[in-house]
Amino acid sequence: MAGKRVNLSDLATEPALPEARVPAFAESAPRTARVQQVAANPLNTRDLDADHAKIGSIADSMRTHGQLQPCAVVSREAFLRIYPEHEAAIGRATWVQVTGGRRRAAALLANQPTLDIIVKNSLAESREAWVSATAAENLDRENLDPIEEARAIQLLVQECGTGKAAAERLSRTPAWVTQRLNLLKLAPELQALLRSGEVPLRDVRDLHQLPLAEQLEELRQRQQPPAEPPLTAVNRAPVTSETLPSSGATSERRPRKSAAASAIRRLGGTPDKVAESLRAEMTPEDLRTLANLLLTE
Neighbours of 29 (CB within 10 A): 6
Domain count, the chain: 2
Instruction: Walk along the chain (297 residues) and give the pLDDT tens digit of each residue.
Output: 444 444 444 433 433 333 333 333 345 678 899 999 999 999 887 766 666 777 888 889 888 888 888 899 999 999 999 999 999 999 999 999 998 888 898 999 999 999 999 999 999 999 988 888 888 766 765 556 788 888 888 888 988 889 888 888 888 888 888 998 999 999 999 998 888 888 888 888 899 999 998 998 998 888 887 666 655 554 555 555 555 555 554 444 445 556 677 777 777 777 777 787 787 777 777 777 788 778 775
Report the CATH number that the domain containing residue 61 is assigned in CATH: 3.90.1530.10
177 and 212 assigned to the same domain = yes
In a domain, 230, yes or no: no
- β-strand pairing of 95-97 with 114-119: unpaired
In a domain, 259, yes or no: no
- 137 burial via Cβ count (<10 Å: 0-12, 13-18, 19+): buried
In a domain, 158, yes or no: yes
- The sheet that has 114-119: what strands, in order across it? 31-34, 114-119, 71-75, 95-97, 38-39
166 and 101 assigned to the same domain = no
Q: Where are the alpha helices (DSSP H) in 49-145?
A: 52-65, 76-82, 87-90, 101-109, 127-137
In a domain, 130, yes or no: no
174 and 109 assigned to the same domain = no
Distance (Å, rounded) from C-alpha 180 to C-alpha 149? 7
Tens-place pLDDT, residues 96-116: 999 888 889 899 999 999 999
For residue 154, report the phi and psi dihedrals to the nearest 5 degrees. Answer: -60, -45
Domain containing residue 56: 21-125
156 and 83 assigned to the same domain = no
In a domain, 116, yes or no: yes
Which residue, of 188, 222, 256, is where some domain finishes? 222
Going by C-beta distance under 8 Å and a sequence separation of 6 or more, which residues neighbour residue 291?
Answer: none
Distance (Å, rounded) from C-alpha 246 to C-alpha 273? 45
In a domain, 244, yes or no: no
In a domain, 67, yes or no: yes
Which residue, of 96, 125, 154, is where some domain finishes? 125
Which residue, of 125, 154, 169, is where some domain finishes? 125
165 and 71 assigned to the same domain = no
Distance (Å, rounded) from C-alpha 234 to C-alpha 255? 17
In a domain, 132, yes or no: no
98 and 165 assigned to the same domain = no
Report the CATH number that the domain containing residue 214 is assigned in CATH: 1.10.10.2830
Tens-place pLDDT, residues 221-275: 888 876 666 555 545 555 555 555 555 544 444 455 566 777 777 777 777 777 8
pTM: 0.51
